[in-house]
Amino acid sequence: VSGLRAGVVVTGTEVLTGIIGDKNGPWLSERLREVGIDHAFTTVVGDRPSDVRAALDFMAAAGVDLIITSGGLGPTADDLTAEVVGEFLGRPMELDEGLEARIATILARLTRRWPNVDQEAIRAGNRKQAIIPAGATVLEPVGTAPGLVVPPAAAGSGLPLVMVLPGPPRELQPMWGAALETELMRALLEGQEAYETRIVRMMGIPESDLASTLRAIEEEDGLSLSGLEITTCLRRGEIEIATTFVPSVAESLYVDFEAALDRRYGEVIFARRGETIDEIVAGLLRDGGLTIATGESCTGGLLAARLTELPGSSSYALGGVVAYSNEAKSALLEVDPGFFPSVGAVSEEVARALAEGARSRFGASVGVGITGIAGPDGGTPDKPVGTVCIAVAGPSDARLERRLQIPGDRASVRERSATIALHLVRRLLLGPPVA
Amino acid sequence: VSGLRAGVVVTGTEVLTGIIGDKNGPWLSERLREVGIDHAFTTVVGDRPSDVRAALDFMAAAGVDLIITSGGLGPTADDLTAEVVGEFLGRPMELDEGLEARIATILARLTRRWPNVDQEAIRAGNRKQAIIPAGATVLEPVGTAPGLVVPPAAAGSGLPLVMVLPGPPRELQPMWGAALETELMRALLEGQEAYETRIVRMMGIPESDLASTLRAIEEEDGLSLSGLEITTCLRRGEIEIATTFVPSVAESLYVDFEAALDRRYGEVIFARRGETIDEIVAGLLRDGGLTIATGESCTGGLLAARLTELPGSSSYALGGVVAYSNEAKSALLEVDPGFFPSVGAVSEEVARALAEGARSRFGASVGVGITGIAGPDGGTPDKPVGTVCIAVAGPSDARLERRLQIPGDRASVRERSATIALHLVRRLLLGPPVA
């Protein structure tokens, strides 16, 4: 895997200090891979211009062909990315009057709701956002900030092309397509072959096992995997194998690799093209004309929230009940009150009753019940923190249930429980064993 | 704010590409602030040694006093951080036999469970992890990888001190305390005063307004804010103002600054010490001996999940109903079926009925109802995507409701709706106007 390399510079003290997480670095990483550019670095810097400049100099010294910046394009005086990039590439700043007018139109619409807003401050900010490096290609604003594609002033300077994008992901993401359409990006990408990344997901094996399997595939099957860039990681109890390769060179090698994985792990592989378990369950419900409802205790609505996250989910997700208290479990989901003194609220019996209750109250094809102890309090020697019972009921007479001991803190126990519940739904709808 | 500066180098292709998020950069950022070191950069690089080296060279060129690396300390051949750091600082690698023996003891204990493990591979990995830059101070392993504190070989070289830590947060975090205890870190930190960061949050003003307010505070109130490092950001509709300062120098300046903010924004400030709206609502419910229940349509359980996220929430969060379909709204939360043909499912009337229904079905002091169009489909000219109605009912006769137009995609509309619902609960319980 060789060719063009890129670096990403994310600006913003609130990202550096972790007040908000960086979504742009990972998102841009995927986009770069799609167009065949190797993502070498992401550097997060605060809002100091000298630090932003140091990051640009670093990427240039490391020999990248493209730098993408995100953030620092706002209307206030401390938003200085465009100016720093202009200086870096040897281009003076100049006012783009057409752009100023277009931003003014956007601002007039946005500020209509706030009649008392400081109009002078708005005008100053508007003008500032229209002052750009001479010779830059403008990417029209999605919010109020324009993006830029800026070439070095001197040909043969060895400096990279710089793409300047706004910080908010909802502004940055729609601008990427426009950036690719610019002549500067087209020229850069000419002749590049896009990489392909395939993602296989499996459930229920330890990660260490996978490491020795990769060795075994090379030794026993005689496959040299060096033409593939393979990354494995463990997430929420699922193992993810991401493989990147140049299709014209390594497509058949990848097919052999996936077949080798299949021979060893066929039963636990649930996704071969990057689908999430959420998407798989949504597809099974939609394609089967089925509906689903939930009865949740310890997960407190997380499963319902995941089932309703995808667009169009209202066609199969009917709803759910979050019942923390035993009274609510009985009143809303018809759980037999006799269970609580006998088997306890955290039991296969109650999980099953929650699933059946959700199914019947919502008139759904499939019901899911989850009850457990997410911690940090509430554990007992019999049922320590992390004890979770999950049941799936329907369609028709199909039933599945599990009693689990999930490691980790409250957030992990809740998240893993919801994930495992989705795997059980998949298993019930598909038939073959999964975990 | 001046003094020592540090850079963080996070290694790992799976972090760079976003397969796993970087937890170490933000965590180390907080720790650095606590000991009075200014965090200047975080650079994420893949596992290529030349890229790791380029990141170290960059930080050194930018003049940092300390570099912290995370990751690349494992037993396999591609874990090369210690070697790259040794080369960077001019220190040859050497085997630490005592360390080799201590790691062997840990490995013997860990691999007892796997009798078929490849013992030769284990021994090779063990030895590799004990080969360290000559003159480095060892931080004892938490997992199997030792950490290191490595000074430059040549005094006066201008190179920074390097702290080498493992990648997994559960190994990195416990090692931080041991690293601070080393003589090398003590010498670096001598005479440093810890910074303080205070976070103020407000709701319901545009960010541009805040920018001009900061100017006004300097001009009208005559406060010179240069002794404070002020970062503002907009998150989920809330504005966050994070201010970092050296207490011995700027404590009274900060007090004046907060008072100036209070005079202008007292009504919309809801947090003065970094509390989230989730924590504030939890505190109000707990302190008031109140309980809460939810009736959600478009948010699909997100509000219930947030109300049950904090440990101990079972004492006040009774549960909720997620009702996507109109039938479920009527069957489970007693919403008058006559509303749907007359005012529509997305209406103040239905939000109020969901809130009242949740309150009565769960016997809660407070009920919250949310109904809206999260998109991307389902919008009409009258009720476009983003139209959301939220109602809060109780305690006793208190009632509040809002009809909102929330910008952004499906995920934003859902998240913002849940956030605004929490603000309405706070407003209802506290009395004074918030938004």
Q: What is the pLDDT of residues B158-195, one digit of tens each?
A: 899 999 999 988 899 999 999 999 999 999 998 778 78
- Decide if A17 and B29 are in contact by the 8 Å CB cutoff: yes
Class of residue A342 by CB neighbours under 10 A (exposed 0-12, middle 13-18, buried 19+): exposed
pLDDT band at B274 (very low <50, low <70, confident <90, very high): confident
Residue type present at position A245: F
Query: Hey, how many other C-beta atoms are within 10 angstroms of the C-beta on B281?
Result: 24
| A44, A229, A230, A409: best to mutate for the B interface, most B CBs within 10 A | A44
pTM of structure: 0.80
Residues in CB range of A189: below 8 A, 6 or more apart = A4, A35, A36, A37, A180
Mutate: best of B1, B27, B33, B43, partner A, most A CBs <10 A: B43
Distance, in Å, from the CA atom of B171 to the CA atom of B243, rounded to the nearest integer, reads 30
Residues of chain A in contact with residue B30, where contact means CB-CB under 8 angstroms, are: 17-18
CB contact under 8 A, B318 and A305: no
Interval B118-143: pLDDT, tens: 777 778 888 889 999 999 999 999 88
How do B366-372 and B292-296 pair as beta strands? parallel
A42 chain-B contacts, CB cut-off 8 A: 16, 43-44
Question: Which of A8, A220, A306, A308 to substitute to test the interface with B, most B CBs within 10 Å?
Answer: A308
Q: Are B434 and B237 in contact (CB under 8 A)?
A: no
In angstroms, the CA A33 to CA A197 distance is: 8
Interface contact flag, A41 B39, Cβ < 8 Å: no
pLDDT of res. B433: 42
DSSP string, B10-38: EE-HHHHTTSS---HHHHHHHHHHHTT-E
pLDDT number for residue A434: 41
Contact A319 B332 (CB under 8 A): yes
Residue B413 has pLDDT above 60, yes or no: yes
> Strand, helix or coil at B389?
strand
The nearest alpha carbon in chain A to B170 belongs to: A408
The residue in chain B having the minimum alpha-carbon distance to the alpha carbon of residue A53 is B62
Supply A355's token pair.
């699933």
Contact A309, A278 (CB under 8 A): yes
The mean pLDDT of B394-398, rounded to a whole number, is 88
Instruction: Compute the nearest-CA separation of A311 from chain B (Å).
Output: 6
How many angstroms separate the CA of residue A433 from the nearest CA in chain B? 25
Are A353 and A342 within 8 A, CB to CB?
Answer: no
Q: Which residues in chain A have their CB less than 8 angstroms from residue B321's CB?
A: 319-322, 332
**Contact check, Cβ <8 Å, A43/B39:** no
Distance CA A34, CA A28 (A): 10
Residue indicated by tokens 């993810």: A240
CB contact under 8 A, B313 and A300: yes
Place of tokens 């709808």: A429
pLDDT in tens, A409-430: 898 899 999 999 999 999 999 8
Name the minimum distance, in Å, from the CA of A63 to any CA of chain B: 10
Confidence category of residue B1, pLDDT binned at 50, 70, 90: very low
- Counting every residue written for chain A, the total comes to 435
Q: Summarize the confidence of residues B275-288 as an average pLDDT.
A: 96
- C-alpha dihedral, A322 to A326 to A328 to A334, nearest 10°: 100
DSSP for B122-186 reads: HHHHHHHHTEEETTPEEEPPSSSPPEEEE--SSTTS-PPEEEEE-SSHHHHHHHHHHHHHSHHHH
In angstroms, how far is CA A87 from the centroid of its own chain? 34
Distance separating alpha carbons of residues A43 and B78, to the nearest angstrom: 22
For residues B91-95, give the mean pLDDT. 97
Helix/strand/coil for A381: coil
Interface touch A21/B21, C-beta < 8 Å: yes
pLDDT tens readout for residues A192-241: 777 888 999 998 776 667 777 888 898 888 898 888 988 777 777 788 88
Q: Which residues of B touch A62 (CB under 8 A)?
A: 51, 54, 58
H or E segment to which residue B417 belongs = helix B410-430
The predicted pLDDT at position B434 comes to 41
Instruction: Say how far apart CA A389 and CA A62 lie, in whole Å.
Output: 52
pLDDT at A1: 42
B304 closest CB neighbour out of A231, A300, A314: A300
For residue B353 the two structure tokens come to 């009925």
Q: Rounded to 10 degrees, what is the CA torsion of B216, B219, B221, B223?
A: 110
- Contacting residues of A for B324, CB less than 8 Å apart: 308, 313-314, 317-319
User: What per-residue confidence (pLDDT) applies to A115?
Assistant: 65
- Which of B30, B39, B301 lies at the smallest CB-CB distance from A322? B301
Strand partners, B244: B197, B229
Of B233, B300, B414, the CB nearest to A20: B233
Query: What pLDDT score does A336 carry?
Result: 95
Instruction: Give the torsion through C-alpha atoms of B137, B142, B143, B149, to 10 deg.
Output: -20
Query: Is the preceding omega at residue A376 within 30 degrees of 0, hence cis?
Result: yes
Of B300, B309, B313, the CB nearest to A308: B300
Low-confidence ranges of chain A (pLDDT < 70): 1-2, 113-117, 206-208, 431-435
- Nearest 5°: phi and psi at B3? 120, -145
Give the torsion through C-alpha atoms of B235, B241, B247, B251, to 10 deg.
-150
**Spatial distance between the Cα atoms of A293 and A262, rounded to a whole number of angstroms:** 33
Closest Cβ–Cβ partner in A16, A25, A311 for B29: A16
Concatenating the DSSP letter of every residue in B300-369 gives TTHHHHHHTTSTTGGGTEEEEEEE-SHHHHHHHH---TTHHHHT-SSSHHHHHHHHHHHHHHHT-SEEEE
